Structure 1
Amino acid sequence: MVFDFFQPLEDDFLEFVQGLSNQALGRKVVFHSATDFPNIEVASIAIIGVLENRGIAQDDDVIELSHIRKEFYSLFPGNWDAQIVDLGNIVAGSSIEDTYYVLKTAVAELIKNKVIPIVIGGSQDLTYAMYRAYDQLDQMVNVVAIDSRFDFAKEEGLPAHSYLSKMIVEEPNNLFNYSNLGYQTYYNSQEEIDLIEKLYFDAYRLGEVCNNSAIAEPVFRDADLVTLDLNSIKSSDSGNFVNFIPNGFNGKEICVLSRYSGISDKVSSFGIFNHNGSKAESVLISQILWYFIEGYHYRSKEYPYGSKEEYLRYIVPLEDEELIFYKSDKTERWWIEVPFLTNINNKIKRSALLPCTYDDYIGATNQEIPERWWKAQKKNLL
C-alpha cells in the first residue's frame, strides 16, 4: 500500500499538539503517528508533506515542515465539521521519479475516496506528480497556477521551472486547460507568453488580479488542481528574505485566492510549493491553508454536481449565434454554455458549462464574446 511509504509525525510534534488549547485546530485533527494511521474513509481533507526539493535546489537542502504544522495547528478552526487528517511526510526517494510515483499514487487514492489532498512541498515540480494522479481517474484536467512564472523552461533546466512543458508534451495528455494567476511579464519571455496564447490557455497579470481579485473566482470554479508557488508573494508579506521578491501578491490577496480555490466545488487537490523553510514564511502558509479549508466548508455543491434545470437561463442573441447563460439563485454565480464540449471526448462532458461572471453576461448583451468562452471553443478545434 502506498501509504506505507509515509513517514509518521515525530513524537515531539505530537506532544506539542497535546499542549495546545482544546479549541485549537490541532486538537481536532487525526495524525499519522508511529502506532496509528488515520482512516481516510471517514476523512474529507488530508494534509501531506513532501520532503523533496531536488526540483529547484542544486544541493541536498533539508526541508523543514514542522514550523508550518505548528503554526497551522495552533490556529482556531471556524465552524467546520469535516474530518481533517495529517498523513505525515513523503520522504525523498532514491530518485526524484520515486518521489513522484509515491505522491502520484497517494493523491489518486485520496481523490478516489473523495478526500482532498493538500500537499505541502518541496519544489513546485511536484505539481507534475499531482497532475499525473488524474491519469487513473479517466478525466481531462484543468490546472490553475498562482505563479509569477509559466514554468515553460527547457527540459535541461531545473524541473520546478519546466514542469508545465512536461504536462503539455508527455502522454497521456489529459491537460484540457491551464490558467495562470499573477504572472509578472519581466519573468517570462515573449516566446512563452505567445505560447500561452497559441494554446488558448488563460493568463492574468499580477496587476489585473490585484486590482480585481473577483476575476479569479470563475477560474478556480473550473479547476481540478490548484498549485501555489510561494514566490508569487512579495517578501514583505511572506517573510521570504532568502530569495528577495519585491513584487507579488500581498497576504490578504493570497488568502482571498486560497479561499476561492477552497470554495470551488470542482477543486479536488491543492498544493503549496517552494517553501524556503523559514519560520517567518510558515506564518503566512498556515493562514493560506486555513482559508482554503474555510472555503471548502462553504462549498455550495452546484455545477457539476447540480442540475442545469435549477438555474435561471438567459439567452443572448449575437450576430452569428446565441450564447446561453445560467445564473444560480442560490449563490448568484454565473455559467455560460459551451456546446461543443458535449460533442467530443467523453472525458470532458462535465465541462459543458464554463464558469463566468455577471460582467461576461453584460458584455454579451453588448455583443462582446467572453474571451474564456472563445478560447474553450478554439481548444475543441485543435
Structure 2
Amino acid sequence: MAEFSHLQDFLHPVSKAMLNDDQEYDAFQVGSIIDVYEIDQQPDLEAADIILLGVGEERGGPSGKTNTNGPDAIRRELYRLFNWHKDIKLADVGNLLPGAFLADAYAAMKTVLSELISANKTVIILGGSHDLTYPQYKAYASQELIIEATVADALIDLKEDSRIKSERFLMDILTEQPNYLRHYNHIGFQSYFVHPRMLETLDKLRFDCFRLGRIRENMEEAEPVLRHSDLFSLDINIIKHTDAPANHLSPNGFSGEEACTLSRYAGMSSRLSSFGIYGYEPEKDVANLTARQISQMIWYFMDGRAVKGKEAGLEDRDAFWEFHIAFSDIETVFLKSKKTNRWWMQLPDQEFVPCAYNDYLMASNNEMPERWLRHQERL
C-alpha cells in the first residue's frame, strides 16, 4: 500500500476538537480509539481494519451542491458512541476534496478507494448523493476486479433520460464496457415508485430485486445477499421518514432497527470491502436524528465485523453441521455454521453459496429454493 502522504493530495483533515466542542472523549468512546487524519497527525492505515472516508459531494444529485458538512455531522454522532469491539481497528482519512468539476470528484474518490481496497481494507463512505456509487464501482473496475454489487434504495436509478446523475447512475454502471459486474442485487425498492418495465429489464438480466415488504417479512433473506457482495451502496431513503427525518421521499420504509440489521449483515460478510451510505442532507435533518441513525448503522457494521472474525472457513468441516438433501431429483449439501448459525448450499458445480434457513426448509420439503434456481440460471 502506498504511503498515506500519497493520498493526502485528495483529502482534507478532520478536527476532533471541533466535532466534540473542545471536550475530551471518554477512553471507551469511538472518538478516543479511532486513528484520525488531523492537521498534525497521520493515521496508521496499515493497522486499520475499517477506514472511514467522507465524501460530501452532491453535484450529481438534485441539489447540485459542490459539498456539504454531512460527513462531519455523522462523525460528530459516531465518535460519541461507546466502542465495544476492541479488536476492530478504526481509522478515518478525512473528507475528499471536491475538485473543480464533478468528474474530478469521481476520479479522486475512485483513486482513494482503489488504493484502500487493493490493500485489503474495508472502507465505509460517508457520502453525499447516491450517484457516488458509480466511482465506488469504478474503484473495482480500475483494478479489473469482477464483483457482485448490492444497492439498498427505495428507487431504482435507471432513468437514462434524466439530467440528474443520481437518477441514472445504475444505467452507467450496467452498460459500461468493459463491464466488471458479475451480479447485481437491489434491496428495499418501493413498488409505487418503480416503473414495472425497470423490474422486467433487471429480471431479464438475471439480477435479483427484493421489494421492501418481502425483506421486512423476513430480514434474514437479506443476509446471504450481503454475504456474497463485494460492494454495498445504501441510500437513506430506504428508512422511513420518522426514523430518518432527512429522508423526504417517503413516510414508509425500513425502521431504524432494520437498517441497523442490514448494516450488521454487511459487516458480517467476508467479501464486502466497501459500504457507501448516501443521501444524507444535514439541512433536512431534525435534531441530528438521521446523523445518529447513520452513526448507529456504522456501529452495527462494526458489530458484524466482530462476528465475521469468529467464522470458520468452509474447508473446516468440523465447524459446520452438514445436511445431505434431495429435492426435484437433485442431491445437494447444506452447511450450517456452529458458530454463527449461517447457512450455505452446494450448487451442481460443487461451489457453496450463501443461503438462508428458509432455503433449507424448502429443499427438505422437496421444493426447489428460488435462490438455488437463480444461481443456476446465472451459471
User: Shared fold (TM-score greater than 0.5)?
Assistant: yes
Would you say 1:134 and 2:140 are equivalent positions? yes
For residue 375 of structure 1, what is the aligned residue in structure 2? 374
Q: CA RMSD in A?
A: 2.1
Would you say 1:214 and 2:225 are equivalent positions? no
Would you say 1:90 and 2:96 are equivalent positions? yes
For residue 316 of structure 1, what is the aligned residue in structure 2? 325
For residue 257 of structure 1, what is the aligned residue in structure 2? 262
Kept in 2: contact 1:13–1:66 (CA 8 A)? no
Q: Distance in 1 between matches of 2:309 and 2:40?
A: 37
Unaligned runs of 5+ residues in structure 1 are 343-351
Q: Tell me how far 1:37 sits from its aligned partner.
A: 1.9
Would you say 1:19 and 2:24 are equivalent positions? yes
Task: Give the secondary structure class of the aligned counterpart of 2:95.
Answer: strand
For residue 332 of structure 1, what is the aligned residue in structure 2? 341
For residue 152 of structure 1, what is the aligned residue in structure 2? 158
Would you say 1:104 and 2:110 are equivalent positions? yes
Q: Distance in 1 between matches of 2:276 and 2:204?
A: 27
Q: Distance in 2 between matches of 1:17 and 1:379?
A: 55
Task: Give the secondary structure class of the aligned counterpart of 1:261.
Answer: helix
| Pair 1:112–1:299, CA change in 2 (3 A) | same
| Pair 1:252–1:11, CA change in 2 (3 A) | closer
Q: Distance in 1 between matches of 2:301 and 2:30?
A: 14
Kept in 1: contact 2:16–2:31 (CA 8 A)? no
Task: Give the secondary structure class of the aligned counterpart of 1:235.
Answer: coil
Would you say 1:234 and 2:210 are equivalent positions? no
| Pair 1:249–1:66, CA change in 2 (3 A) | same
Would you say 1:276 and 2:281 are equivalent positions? yes
Aligned residues: 368
Q: Tell me how far 1:3 sits from its aligned partner.
A: 3.6
Q: Distance in 2 between matches of 1:163 and 1:44?
A: 29
Q: Tell me how far 1:179 sits from its aligned partner.
A: 1.3
Q: Using the TM superposition, name which of 148-157 and 306-315 deviates more.
A: 306-315
Would you say 1:354 and 2:353 are equivalent positions? yes
* Deviation per residue, 1:206-227 (Å, 9 max, x gap): 1111222111111111111111
* Deviation per residue, 1:137-174 (Å, 9 max, x gap): 44321111111112111154311121211111102211
Q: Tell me how far 1:77 sits from its aligned partner.
A: 0.9
Kept in 2: contact 1:308–1:326 (CA 8 A)? no
Q: Distance in 2 between matches of 1:172 and 1:2?
A: 27
Corresponding letter in the other structure for 2:301: F
Q: Tell me how far 1:11 sits from its aligned partner.
A: 6.8
Unaligned runs of 5+ residues in structure 2 are 1-5
Kept in 1: contact 2:67–2:98 (CA 8 A)? no
For residue 51 of structure 2, what is the aligned residue in structure 1? 46
Corresponding letter in the other structure for 1:247: N
Kept in 1: contact 2:60–2:165 (CA 8 A)? yes
| Pair 1:294–1:50, CA change in 2 (3 A) | same
Would you say 1:177 and 2:183 are equivalent positions? yes
For residue 206 of structure 2, what is the aligned residue in structure 1? 200
Kept in 2: contact 1:49–1:121 (CA 8 A)? yes
Kept in 2: contact 1:40–1:113 (CA 8 A)? no
Instruction: Name which of 291, 302, 307 aligns with 2:315.
Output: 307
Identity %: 35
Task: Give the secondary structure class of the aligned counterpart of 2:325.
Answer: strand
Q: Distance in 1 between matches of 2:109 and 2:15?
A: 20
Q: Distance in 2 between matches of 1:41 and 1:128?
A: 26
For residue 3 of structure 2, what is the aligned residue in structure 1? none
